[in-house]
Chain A
Amino acid sequence: MLLETPTPPKADAPPAVPPYKGQDVRAFYKTGARRVTGEQSTKRMAWVVQVTAVRDHQDKAAFAELFAYFAPRVKSFLMKSGASPDMAEECTQEVMATLWNKAKMFDPTKASVSTWIFTIARNRKIDILRKQRRPEPEDLPWGPEAEPDQSEAIVLQQETEKLGQALAALPSEQRKLIERAYYGELSHSEIAAETGLPLGTIKSRIRLALDRLRHAMK
């Protein structure tokens, strides 16, 4: 936990060029968002602002905050997935470097920062630990918008927060099962054999993603 710090809004940072349709998100989450979305979603919006600062201003302070929070968790995830401490350390540094290099691809209306970093770490894990190619779905013909809609981003962050809370509220056996699936301790046939996947838990998150896709196609 050496590098771990909470991620408060960066009071000392210079005001960002407003990343969302003419509004300053920092001002926004300091006022309205906290009231509307609660502390946890505010934290998620703070991550979004940090990634945006990395994207738009190569903001090293914002990156350091993301690093302090996420790197120890990525490392832990990789070690639980079977990486040695050295390999996990190296791999985590690469994952965090990828975050910087691909900040332009991040779309807060599609994913929470935690989700996005997880997918980068997972792909690195497949590459390094499993030594396989990772076929990815075709990109949709529309990429992330230059100025994603702020309210859509907030709804997505809230929905992801709700998902996290629903997972935390599961009976511990069921929760352990999910963790084991993501750490690679269950084969696909074992996942299939285990009944009681908490589909209900993630249903509203799926519905939201589908609404977004349909909306984007119009």
Chain B
Amino acid sequence: MMNTIKHHLTEPLLMGYAAGTLPEAFNLVVATHISMCDSCRAALSAYDAVGGEVMLDAEPIAMAEDALAATMALIANAPSVDAMPKPPLRNGIFPAPLHDYVDGDLVSVKWRRVGGGVSQMILQTSNDASVRLLRIPAGTAVPDHGHGGMELTLVLQGAFVDETDRFGTGDVEVANEDMNHTPVAEAGMDCICLAATDAPLRFTGILPRFAQRFVGI
């Protein structure tokens, strides 16, 4: 639980997450940020409530005649859920949803260098968008890049600064397609981010183009 978070999810992202219509890669960033952020957790519960009201208002469609009996049979065959979900045991920096995708914490990440000292690990999701962990060494810049689509960058450790602001742990930057930026990791600590995009990044400049070949996006 952090109270220092300054950059939050946007309303459309919260609504999309509540509706269940975002790409899986974005859902992972949203779920991870909400794990760290009270105000977005609260906002999500309200957007879930909007979904409930939309559902209540849907024109009812009759169920099959034996539907209730069939459901009771499903219930009879299901293992009962007795235990409450265990409270999360966090001794690392990855909130539970990210921990699930990495299958571990920071030490379990299989980094691959992508040039300029930056390393990444691409996480497996549906292919309508992609999500990766990025490790940017303290004081290092990520190549200036534009976006064909939307990019979400959530800071898990350290901080980065770009043309728009400073992004510390728990902050999420929502960049749209007309934004070009050069994030620089703050001195003192490597910056670890979770970044999702629904389009290939376009790097500008010669060295970054070289780097892009390695990134493979």
| Chain B, residue nearest A110 (CB) | B45
| Chain B, residue nearest A206 (CB) | B46
Count, A-B residue pairs, CB within 8 A: 245
Asked if B206 is at the interface of the complex by the 8 Å CB criterion, the answer is no
Q: Taking A101-B80, A118-B51, A118-B52 as contacts, is the C-beta distance between A4 and B60 under 8 angstroms?
A: yes
Residues of A within 8 A of B170 (CB): none
Interface size class of B (residues with CB under 8 A): 35 or more
Tell me how far the C-beta of A189 lies from the nearest C-beta in chain B, rounded to whole angstroms. Answer: 6
Residues of A within 8 A of B56 (CB): 73, 114, 164
List 15 contacting pairs A-B, 8 Å CB cutoff, sorted by A. A75-B63, A79-B61, A130-B20, A132-B27, A133-B24, A134-B20, A137-B32, A137-B34, A167-B53, A179-B57, A182-B18, A191-B12, A191-B16, A192-B176, A206-B46
Cα distance A72–B68 in the bound complex, in angstroms? 11
Q: When A and B form their complex, which 6 residue pairs have the shortest distance between CB atoms, in order from nearest?
A: A72-B60, A115-B52, A209-B42, A138-B35, A114-B52, A210-B42
Q: What is the number of residues of chain A that contact chain B, defined by CB distance less than 8 Å?
A: 88
Residues of B within 8 A of A112 (CB): 49, 52
Does A202 contact B20, Cβ atoms closer than 8 Å? no
Tell me how far the C-beta of A184 lies from the nearest C-beta in chain B, rounded to whole angstroms. Answer: 5
Tell me how far the C-beta of A157 lies from the nearest C-beta in chain B, rounded to whole angstroms. Answer: 11
Asked if A33 is at the interface of the complex by the 8 Å CB criterion, the answer is no
Interface residues of A in 103-139 (CB under 8 A from B): 104-105, 110-112, 114-119, 121-123, 125-126, 130-139
Partner of A202, one of B10, B22, B46: B46
Interface residues of B in 1-47 (CB under 8 A from A): 1, 10-13, 15-16, 18-24, 26-28, 30-32, 34-35, 38-39, 41-47
Does A181 contact B15, Cβ atoms closer than 8 Å? yes
Interface residues of A in 10-24 (CB under 8 A from B): none
